[in-house]
Amino acid sequence: MKATLVKRAFKYRFSPSDAQAAELSRTFGCVRKVYNLALAARTEAWARQERVSYNQTSAMLTVWKKTQELAYLNEVSSVPLQQALRHLQTAFSHFFGRRAKYPRFKSRKKSRKSAEYTTSAFRFRDGKLTLAKMAEPLDIVWSRPLPEGASPSTVTVSQDAAGRWYVSLLVEDPTVQPLPAINTAVGVDVGLDHLLTLSTGEKVANPRHERRDRARLARAQRKLARTAGGDGTNRRKARQKVAKVYARITDRRRDHLHKLTTRLVRENQTIVIEDLTVRNMVKNGKLARAISDAAWADFRSMLEYKAHWYGREVIAVDRWFPSSKLCSACGTLRGKLPLNVRTWTCDCGTTHDRDVNAANNLLAAGLAVSVWGAGVRPQRSSPGGQSAMKQKTPRREP
């Protein structure tokens, strides 16, 4: 049986010409406008207990283009506009399936600037990418090669808050194949003092990327606060300086997590983690900043999709499992264990490092579940591991 090829996005920086930047900026604005118009139409229909489908919003787009006030929608490629409607349809599907909140309107200042092109709206030949409505190819910095013979199925162009331009090419990558099976498993306990503690006893330091740049970030934010409100040039420049600091933090954090997750997946057949609800944990005002900087949710997401790519297994143990308070030697459950207690001694005489003990207990629980199939909650939606999420009744569409 032929193995299914993995679709993978390759992201690159590029420098647009003035004409290309203007065309892309117009496209971003039109994509945002169409998305918001369609969302408003579907929201009004929702209030009337009526259903609006993707095909109906596509027909609305045709009508909007014929009006005088929205005639400028004809100036950009129609493909990104249609893709915006498809993205809205996906957002509603997630909402009705109780996987996401109700879709929100896109903001000119805060929302991500992006446009997606399908094969009919771009040309990729001899390593050169040309988008619809453009005469010249994009000046892309090919920081790594695409898979040999790769042909992009979609191209997404975006600009981040720091003003950097990116192009993402979705291709089938034949180099992503399951790794040879090995007989190793590891329990992983995440934390703040140490980012990861493994059941092997290894502890991975927390780089605290945000803390390292906190002074620089504070200076940029103070300068932004002193500028006048509105969309003046000085305020726009100050806002971009803040965004550049955040981008530096995010890039370093993502690079570190990619290296960690790749190493864990390559070295272990089974990886057991704890099913943490990070969105609830960041409501703690004292720890929210540190938890966000640790990026536990990103770590789990990377671990899951890489495990799926390479034929590994990720098991998520129920968040209520007392991994820290349970003696990994004799199984005795301790009554209370405050967070400031980092080592403790069991009645059996075993002295535990809190985090290493938790990692060992997670590993034991995960392996037991993989055999007996109970006691853990599954991965969220990735096909690369155990699946034990609570089933939710989908919302009924009007």
How far is Cα 257 from Cα 295, in angstroms, rounded to an integer?
9
- What are φ and ψ of residue 210, in 5° steps? -65, -40
* 64 within 8 A of 73, measured Cβ to Cβ: yes
Domains of the chain, start order? 6-173 (no CATH), 185-206+256-372 (3.30.420)
The token pair at 120 is 């009919």
Residue-averaged pLDDT of the chain: 89
Per-residue tokens: 219: 């200076």
Name the one residue in this structure whose structure tokens are 């009705």. 96
Angle at 270 between CA 309 and CA 182, to 5 degrees: 85
Is the predicted pLDDT of residue 50 greater than 50, yes or no? yes
Q: Is the pLDDT reported for residue 370 higher than 60?
A: yes
Q: At what angle do helices 18-47 and 78-96 cross, to 10 degrees?
A: 40
Read off the pLDDT band of 315 (50, 70, 90). Answer: very high
- CA separation, residue 43 to residues 39, 92, 121 (Å): 6, 11, 30
Mapped onto helix, strand or coil, the DSSP state of residue 115 is strand
The arithmetic mean of pLDDT across residues 370-386, rounded, is 47
- Report H helices in 227-317: 233-267, 278-281, 288-294, 296-309
> Of 27-31, 262-266, 342-346, which range is least confident?
342-346
> Active site includes 267?
no
Contacts of 348 (CB under 8 A, 6+ apart): 327, 329, 330, 332
**pLDDT (tens digit per residue) in 88-132:** 999 999 999 999 999 999 998 889 999 999 999 999 998 899 999
> Regarding beta strands 194-198 and 185-190, do their DSSP bridges make them parallel or antiparallel, or are they unpaired?
antiparallel
Check: CB of residue 355 under 8 Å from CB of residue 199. no
Residue in 189, 275, 304, 313 annotated catalytic: 189
How far is it, in rounded angstroms, from Cα 224 to Cα 84? 32
- Is 173 a residue of the active site? no
Q: Which two tokens stand for residue 326?
A: 């349970």
The active-site residue, picked from 116, 304, 313, 355, is: 355
CB 186 within 8 A of CB 271: yes
Tokens 């007996």, residue?
Answer: 372
Tokens standing for 85? 């409607």
189 is catalytic: yes
Q: How confident is the model at residue 3 (pLDDT cuts 50, 70, 90)?
A: low
String of DSSP letters for 80-98? HHHHHHHHHHHHHHHHHTT
**Which alpha helices (H) appear in the chain, and where do they start and end?**
18-47, 54-66, 78-96, 209-212, 214-226, 233-267, 278-281, 288-294, 296-309, 354-372
Give the residue among 39, 127, 124 at the shortest CA–CA distance from 85.
39
Contact call for residues 288 and 210 (beta carbons, < 8 A): no
pLDDT band at 379 (very low <50, low <70, confident <90, very high): very low
Backbone torsion region of residue 177, taken as left when φ is above 0, otherwise alpha when ψ lies between -120 and 50, otherwise beta: beta
Percentage of the residues of the chain whose pLDDT score is greater than 70:
92
For 293, the token pair is 């900087």
Q: What is the mean pLDDT of residues 299-309?
A: 95
The partner residues of 154 in beta bridges, in order of sequence, read: 118, 170
119 and 78 in contact (C-beta within 8 Å)?
no
Residue 94: how many CA atoms within 13 Å on its side-chain side? Answer: 13
Q: Rounded to an integer, what distance in angstroms lies between the CA atom of residue 154 and that of residue 350?
A: 57
Contact 321, 365 (CB under 8 A): yes
Write out pLDDT tens, residues 264-302: 999 999 999 999 888 888 888 888 999 999 999 999 999
Nearest to 86 by CA among 112, 61, 120: 61
Cβ partners under 8 Å of residue 214, min gap 6: none
From the list 116, 210, 274, 304, the catalytic residue is 274
